[in-house]
Structure 1
Amino acid sequence: MDHVDSLVCTLCGAEYDPDQVIYTCPNHPGVKGILEVTYDYDRVLDRFDEPLDGAIGSQWKYRAFLPVDDDVEPVTLGEGGTPLLEAPRLGAELDVDLRVKDDGRNPTGVLKDRATAISLTKAREFGLDVVTCASTGNAAASLAGFSARGGFDCRLFVPGDAPEGKLAQPLVYGADVLGVRGSYDEAYDLSMAVTERFGWYNRNAAVNPFQVEGKRTVGHELAEQTREEIPDWVVFSMGDGCTIAGGWKGFREFADLDLVEETPRMLGVQAEGASAIHDAFHDHDDADEVADTVADSISVGRPRNAVKACSALEESGGESILVSDEEVLAAESLLGRTEGIYAEPAGAAPVAGLRKAREAGIVEAGDSVVVVVTGTGLKDTRSAMRAGGEVTAIDPAIDDVVERYGDAD
């Protein structure tokens, strides 16, 4: 990996060899010393010879940017290459020029597949065959699917309240799913303890430095797809903070390398019941470490990558905003009925955040905006039923239809 320089601690600047298995900087207790992958961009550019023509078969178009050895066979299900869709009806509703990046089209239905492909490719590179993570459901499903693809043993730790629909996937993929009687943060702590005890390779996005590097391909794709019309804003939901950090890093890299002319501002959206990154960005001291929100994918009380997320917001001249669960569910329904895009609550949260940012004057009328939907609504049909309403029961009689819609002209 001559194009990868080192792993650098975001707190103290200590550097580590990227060819070793290391998660955080040992100079700091716990998981505070998050590591950043740094690159020799002259070598990256020498390696990158793909045309920026909008044709993106998968995220591996950007392999020259990814921290994997040239000789290793990627673990892939064809992740990335998701569409950027015009959203005129929803845009008119919110009075913005709107496009939607639908990352629910990824192989297991979630943006996290981008990161999982990289971490399992690294596990293969390191010669490890047992992988693990903690998850509210999406990362578990993603890791299980890619583990099946790559021939890894997969052992997962999920909180007891994880949605059944999300747990069905890893079970079908053959993973060992362990339901922890506790919160996501407790499941997370346990996954880190077993990683240390057994030496399993940990996919946890907040601490595995290579995970964010996979997520940054959504930024590369957005930069390429919007190259002729860079948006004013890109909107992400935030849980641990890795996704918005990765998306910003990828877009910024393309701008720094003169592959695109400018960068957008980042708008980060959190649920009111899981607001730690928003609180940190706005210097609030009363953050609650107990997360409680219908958007389970971003239900994180102690985000481990808040530093990178806040840096993405600050560097981009961006902003963060909070939304209620009611606003999230309303946005899920709004996105579905205006544009036919079915998002899980965390995937719809950016729409709720955009609507609220418009009301607050953060995003101005006529601004160009890209909303990133991070996961499909098939992940959480129970919440979707809350968002969409009840089925109307009728008798098997034409009169009931006439009563509802009127007679034919």
Structure 2
Amino acid sequence: MTMEHVTTLECTICGAEYDPDQIIYTCPEHDGVKGILEVKYDYDVIHDNFDADLDGDIRSEWKYEAFLPVHDEAERVTLNEGGTDLFDAPNLSEELGVTTLVKDDGRNPTGCFKDRASSIAVTKAKHAGRDIITCASTGNAAASLSGYAARGGLDCRIFVPGDAPTGKLAQPLVYGADVLAVEGSYDEAYDLSVEVTETYGWYNRNAAINPFQVEGKRTVGHELAEQSVVRGEVPDWVVFSMGDGCTIAGAWKGFKEFYDLDYVEDHPKMLGVQAEGAPAIHESFHGHDNIDDIAETLADSISVGRPRNTIKACRALEQSGGTSVLVSDEDILDAEVLLGSTEGIYTEPAGATPLAGVKKALAEGIIDSDETVVVNSTGFGLKDTKSAETATGGVDRIDPEISEVEQLYGTAEEAAADD
């Protein structure tokens, strides 16, 4: 049994090191879940085992298996997650006044970015001999983990806040998971999932505390780096929404690894975007101490009052030379419609939040009009149709009469004359 490319798990606060072969979630030297762990690697071993011929043929995140913290003998539990398209967005670019690309991770098997982490979670849980896996979720992680648990033959037990979108809860139920709706906030559901893990010994997939989950998420950074090589240009900015902070931290780590290994000549700046009603990482990055830990935003996937990965997220922003912005729920809904109506990409509110952030950053002079931007859509729009209805005003209802159509568009003759 070998995982020779993984050297240690290191506490992001005190630097204490732990054996990566054990199941450990946070550094015990710190109260609660503050002692987040970082997976450290021997990059000479990784380089020797990775085919650095970057041709853009990315069929799944497992193309980067040499970077992933799994044992050689572990059974890979996969649904071909990752390998998502990076689209040119000419209509959106014209609308915004800046060259924009869209990385569409809503095309993952369960419809969200989190599949990149769930594949690793179930692979490691199964290899460790655990037959029950759990997490807390506002919806997407629940659906994602449940699908991969089904694929891997594990029982899955999910904790969600009571107001989680019903559309997202249908998925884990179909996948056979037990879904426990906690009468409280996401943070309360999260705390309960951690307590249950300690009490029952279930394997916990929570990306903010399970150190290996960020490592799956970082494959999006590997993909963006490879896609940049093929396109012949590294984007100036890569933009993610932020909830717990794991996604932007992972994306930066992956891109930076390829930059440090000289697989790509440059790296982008990271722009993190949070909703005004859940601004904790943004406030921390900008040095504000008085942070309200109550999250209130319709973008449920990033509705986190107490982010657990603030340190890694802020480090990604700082190391990359990037920054963060806040956007309103109204901005998010407008961005959801803008992305769909210009490029035919249907995203949920959290997936539209990066686009709202680009608009804000352009208005504030953070992003220049001659730069290139990648926005990352992290979840498919059918995850939350209620928000889409709110954003668009819903359908026009008419009687089955041609006169009803004429009231909307004029007569055929009038329409032809307008053409």
- Specify the TM-score bucket, using the shorter chain as the normaliser: over 0.9
- In structure 1, distance between residues paired with 2:200 and 2:59: 37
Deviation at 1:157, TM superposition (A): 0.4
The answer to whether structure 1 residue 139 and structure 2 residue 145 are counterparts is: no
User: In the TM superposition, what are the counterparts of 1:330-409 in structure 2 within 5 Å?
Assistant: 330-408=334-412, 409=416
**More deviation in 213-222 or 390-399?**
390-399
Counterpart of 1:152?
A: 154
For residues 246-395 of structure 1, what are the structure 2 equivalents within 5 Å?
A: 246-395=250-399
Measure the CA separation in 2 of the matches of 1:403 and 1:162: 39
Quote how far apart the aligned CAs of 1:71 are.
1.2
Is this contact kept in 1: 2:241–2:302, CA < 8 A?
yes
Matched, 1:111 2:113: yes
1:50–1:61 CA contact under 8 A, matched in 2? no
- Gaps of at least 5 residues in structure 2 are none
> TM-score by structure 2 length?
0.97
**Which secondary structure does the structure 2 equivalent of 1:179 belong to?**
strand
1:61 corresponds in structure 2 to 63
Q: 1:49 aligns with which of 51, 67, 76?
A: 51
Whether the aligned pair in 1 keeps the contact of 2:52 and 2:263 (CA below 8 Å) is no
Deviation at 1:22, TM superposition (A): 0.3
Amino acid at match of 1:181: E
Structure 2 counterpart of 1:29? 31
Note the C-alpha offset of 1:254.
Answer: 0.1
Matched-pair identity in %: 70
The TM-score, its normalising length taken from structure 1, stands at 0.99
Question: Shift of residue 402 of structure 1?
Answer: 2.3
Offset at 1:286?
A: 1.7
Aligned to 2:217: 215
Among 173, 185, 188, which residue is 1:186 paired with? 188
Q: Deviations over 1:150-200 (max 9, x none)?
A: 000000100000000000000000100001010000000000000000000
CA contact (8 A) 1:235 1:369 kept: yes
> What does residue 86 of structure 1 align with?
88
What CA distance in whole angstroms lies between the structure 1 residues aligned with 2:181 and 2:339? Answer: 32
Please give the alpha-carbon distance, in whole angstroms, between the structure 2 residues aligned to 1:140 and 1:51. 35
Q: How far is 1:50 from its partner?
A: 5.3
Amino acid at match of 1:35: L
Amino acid at match of 1:68: V
Count of equivalent residues? 409
How far is 1:51 from its partner? 2.7
Structure 1: 4+ residue segments shifted above 6 A: none
1: CA distance between counterparts of 2:272 and 2:56?
26
Q: Matched residues in 2 for 1:366 and 1:347: separation?
A: 24
In 2, the alpha carbon distance for the partners of 1:252 and 1:387 equals: 36
Instruction: Give distance in 1, aligned partners of 2:5 and 2:397.
Output: 61
Name the counterpart of 2:78. Answer: 76
Alignment partners' CA distance in 1, 2:300 and 2:16: 34
State the shift of 1:16 in Å: 0.6
Distance 2:43 2:121 in 1: 21
Report SS of the residue matched to 1:226.
Answer: helix
* Structure 1: gaps (5+ residues): none
1:122 aligned partner, one-letter code:
K
The CA distance in 1 between the partners of 2:101 and 2:288, in whole Å, is 32
The Cα of 1:403 is off from its aligned counterpart by: 2.5
Greater Cα offset, 57-66 or 399-408 = 399-408
- What is the alpha-carbon root mean square deviation over aligned residues? 0.7
Q: Secondary structure at the match of 1:204?
A: coil
| 1:231 alignment partner in structure 2 | 235
SS of residue matched to 1:114: helix
The CA distance in 1 between the partners of 2:392 and 2:148, in whole Å, is 32
- What amino acid is aligned across from residue 238 of structure 2 in structure 1? V
